[in-house]
A and B are shown apart, each in its own frame.
Chain A
Amino acid sequence: MRGYVPAYEVKSPETLTEALSILQAQPGKWKPLAGGTDLMVLLESGVLENRNLLNLQGLKELTGISVSPAEITIGALSTFRQILEHDLLKTEFPLLAAAARSIGAIAIQNRATIGGNIANASPAADSPPALIAHDAVIELVSSTGSRRLSYAEFHQGYKKTQLATDELIRAIILPRTQADTGSNDFFFYRKVGTRKAQAISKICFAGRFHPCSPGNLRLVFGSVAPTVLRCIQTEAIIQGGGLDLKTIQKAKDSLTRELSPIDDIRSTAEYRLRVSLNLLEDFLILARQKQSHVELGS
């Protein structure tokens, strides 16, 4: 243990109201601590800079997965284990379930929370691409009220988010639009890690395609830009041009422009770009097969 533990202070509020008033009273002083799977690694290495931790583990208001006809609300403290074992999430939001299954290994999945994964704001996080592809909404709460925004707009840059110093993430809300489009959505999630388990993403891709609703196309990448990235320009090319080989090539050219991968300790920019293009191509070819299948069937 390289962290100097006596220098750290931990507060453990019992209610959300109490937690939020602590944040409001001393803006920026308290670093929220949820599952700890990111922060404890930093503490052990002696590089956890913020020495005041606000332990959220006791806040029941942030737990639980609730289902209504229009949406599923996932409390920020829900663990990835709870997510991947939730039957409705598995069937209606398979990208999220797949992302949850790909995170760390069982011990990490039991401990890590979706709120923590989002707030940590790593561009290599596994769940954000899935959430964006599912059109997730994020709910933020502070002493003065709460607000909802599209999750796709939450991450603004490397480790920069819309979370204000007095706010906590309360929940992730997933709209149950499947009801409108039937079960024809084609989902594709692929995490390219350094090994099969206990791995951090080198590239992470979540894709969604509906043969009859081009507007449903989502192409979302992790680990290839300063933040998780929905590739809107590339989506527009496919939406405008279809899935013929020429358009797929145009989409790949567009993706090359949209991504900005770097060399780091896990991989190289060259590899990240090339594999992203391969993943896009794999996805679009499978989508085309799906489309011709639907056309033949109808």
Chain B
Amino acid sequence: MTVKRPVIRKDGKDKVTGRAQYVDDLCFPNMIYGVSVRSSVARGKIQKITYEGDLPWKDITVATSHDLPGPNVVAHILQDQQCLATENVQHPDEAILLLAHPDRQLLEEARRKVRVEIDPLPSIHSIEDSLNQKTVIWGKDNILKSFVIEKGNIAPLWNEAALVVQGEYRTGAQEQLYIEPNGMIASVSPAGITVWGSMQCPYYVHHALMVAFNLPKEKVRVIQTETGGGFGGKEDYPSMIACHAALLSLKSGKPVKIIYDRAEDMACTTKRHPSITRHKTALSKDGKLLAMDIEFLLDGGAYATMSPVVLSRGAIHAAGAYNCPNIRITAKALATNTAPYGAFRGFGAPQSLFALEMHMDRIALQAGLTPEEFRARNFLQEGHVTATGQTLRENPDLPGLMGTALNALGYHAKRANYADHNRNPNSRIKKGVGFSVFLHGAGFTGSGEKNLASVVAVEATPFGRVRVLASSTEIGQGARTVFAQLAADALGIDYDQVDVAQPDTHIVPNSGPTVASRTTMIVGKLVETAAIGLKEILIQSGHLKSECSTEDFSDQFRNACASYIKAAGPLKSFAQYQQPGHIQWDDTKYQGDAYGTFTWAVYAAEVSVDLTTYEARVDNFVAAQEVGKVIHPVLAAGQIEGGVTQGIGYALYEEVRLENGRMINNRMTNYIVPTAQDVPPIQVIFAENPYAHGPHGAKGIGELPLDGVAPAILNAVAFATGTTLTEIPLLPETLMRAMSNE
């Protein structure tokens, strides 16, 4: 068995030795380079384009939207985003035209010498201005998506309540900052389009190319190259770059490579949605939640892109891990004139859970209860019904997880000691502890998985080597390793006998996008099923005995594969997703089983705050979570540690600074992510409670760790400073202002 063992990761050796081929490592004969010329204004009408300077313009390929064979869209959920702006620009840095030339240096110079004259139009740069329709920039009313989730009836409760607590909470944008910037190579010939690149979702790119180039599916081929991180940032945007590279290739007749540098990647590609959440909560005398009225607003940027689904996950998570009979969640995603916000690990949930977990501490304080006691009185349990009307079929041991996390931090003793310490007026360093309790729905929301109907194949060679075929990408999280573990164990063969194919839409079936914490839980289960199917084929056809001795099983398996293939041809087994019967979801009403299962977590932080500089520093962090079953202990812990680190950045350091909608700190020197020096020891604790529909009981864990970090830290800072905090990032400048307002 390889599951639960820290086997060597499949991609490790090539990455460590530098042999792994990322898109910018690839070169093709006659390949040239491409760049984008972008809008200098937030919104306006394109008037005139001139090509200036002493440059060999006749040797430079120029492509505009008019060169596209199909419609000028990057196909996502709604087809509202232009592939290249033609008449109007909707956000700064929107691509207007493309240039290609063999000399990368010359191309940079050429990019500066294209003059695009744009008549500016009034633009919108805040959620409030968009909601108030200061100018209408999208659709009829600037609303990219809106819906209401209702359970019970909140209206009668406000007068009955012993306590009503209101609060408004804000979160900023966040850049994924994967190590490898975005990039694509495209080669167009009469046979069709082939693209190679850094991506999470090969079939999203495939679909976008089919639409924009008006091609049947067999004429488009998408190959994922080794990908240096994604975090959601390579979910939808690679479709845009693939269309651009393919267009330049079509126009020039040569393979074209487009690689974004860091500044372009940060300014132009997607980031986490900024949010405003307003809570109004009614509480009974005994500290039970009576009613929750939640307004959840996202800044979606200039086009809808992923906003409807980010809004959906964020809103569904807005009531958190608590049981409340009456809930109303009003959700809206609003258009502004900035580059579209998109997917980022957590997908809306970090925003709404930040608001909720800050609000829970605020209620506890007003109710005269400790944060842990107040939460414990309201925890969701088996049989409880969530905001969307989903009856919980699992029993989350939240009291147990909370006890584990708080004890591991030494929470109770520290809270008492620090309260004393902080009373001393001479102490310039204040100390605090705080925590958050949260959940994360694993896999696509609602009927998403059913609609995707993902397929995985497992095939074997005559030499008994097994290959997993799936479009799920290795993006650093360990997908290749986990798939090989699951296939090896299902077949009873060595981990080393299993390969995982590089995703290539001509070779692998569509197992869906690599998003939503679904790769291990959903696709991994399909890998397991397909592998079991392969073994069954060998047994049913009489090539493999059903009872095999384990000692020489590898030999028996190899012989069985060889004899089967000789007799019957290729040996390949498919598995397709079947939705478990208990999942019922109504897309129109946002009612039903939002997720097949949830992961549950309690995160606790210890901080110090320097009153000289208002800097908050995380000194210690405990991340306790129930994840179904751990498949690979090192990779699983790595996911948590990485997520916590990104969460620390989200809470205390990372601020996307916009000026008229344009990111102005789009450099690693001024977009501040935590360094190793800023990250404390992180204690990772796993509790297990197997999920019947996950492989070996596993649930998805990729996004969970980002959900609850910021509120744990800010609750600790609020305790240390005695200040009400409502906003991230909590930069020292923000904390200084909050403290002087108290």
User: Which residues of A pack against B, CB within 8 Å?
Assistant: 1-6, 41, 45-46, 105, 192, 194-200, 265-268, 270-271, 274-275, 278-279, 282
Contacts and interface: CB of A to CB of B under 8 A. Distances in A.
Given A265-B665, A265-B670, A5 B105 contact: yes
Contact of A279 (B108, B612, B672): B612
B49 interface: no
B611 A278 contact: yes
B666 to A, nearest CB: 10
Nearest to B35: A2
Contact of B653 (A2, A194, A271): A194
B669 A282 contact: no
B675 A105 contact: yes
B697 interface: no
B674 A4 contact: no
Contact of A45 (B263, B612, B677): B263
Interface in B94-124: 104-106, 108-109, 112
A274 B736 contact: yes
Interface of B: 104-106, 108-109, 112, 261, 263, 428, 611-615, 653, 657, 664-665, 667, 669-670, 672, 674-678, 732-733, 736-737
A268 B612 contact: no
Nearest to A264: B670
A294 B128 CA distance: 60
A272 to B, nearest CB: 9
Contacts of B678: 195-197
A6 B736 contact: no
Contact of A265 (B261, B613, B657, B733): B657
A266 B657 CA distance: 10
A275 B664 contact: no
Contacts of B109: 4
Given A195-B677, A198-B675, A266-B670, A4 B613 contact: no
Contacts of B106: 4
Given A197-B677, A271-B614, 18 more contacts: A1-B105, A1-B108, A2-B261, A3-B108, A4-B109, A41-B669, A45-B667, A46-B108, A195-B653, A196-B675, A196-B678, A198-B669, A265-B657, A274-B736, A275-B614, A275-B732, A278-B611, A279-B613
Contacts, number: 71
B105 A195 contact: no
B733 A197 contact: no
Top 4 closest pairs, chain A to chain B, by CB: A196-B677, A278-B612, A271-B733, A197-B677
Contacts of A282: 428, 612
A105 B732 CA distance: 22
A278 B261 contact: no
A195 B613 contact: no
A270 B732 CA distance: 11
Nearest to B675: A197
A95 B564 CA distance: 77
A244 B438 CA distance: 51
A2 to B, nearest CB: 5
A197 to B, nearest CB: 5
A104 to B, nearest CB: 10
B733 A267 contact: yes
A205 B110 CA distance: 44
A2 B678 CA distance: 31
Most chain A CB neighbours (cut-off 10 Å) among B611, B674, B736: B736
Nearest to A192: B613
Nearest to B653: A195
14 contacts: A3-B108, A4-B106, A41-B669, A195-B653, A195-B675, A195-B677, A196-B678, A198-B669, A198-B675, A265-B664, A265-B670, A275-B612, A275-B613, A282-B612
Nearest to A279: B612
B396 to A, nearest CB: 36
B225 to A, nearest CB: 21
Contacts of B612: 275, 278-279, 282
Contacts of A275: 612-614, 732, 736
Contacts of B674: 195
Contact of B672 (A105, A195, A274): A195
Contacts of A105: 675
Nearest to A200: B669
A198 B673 CA distance: 10
Contact of B613 (A46, A266, A278): A278
A279 B428 CA distance: 11
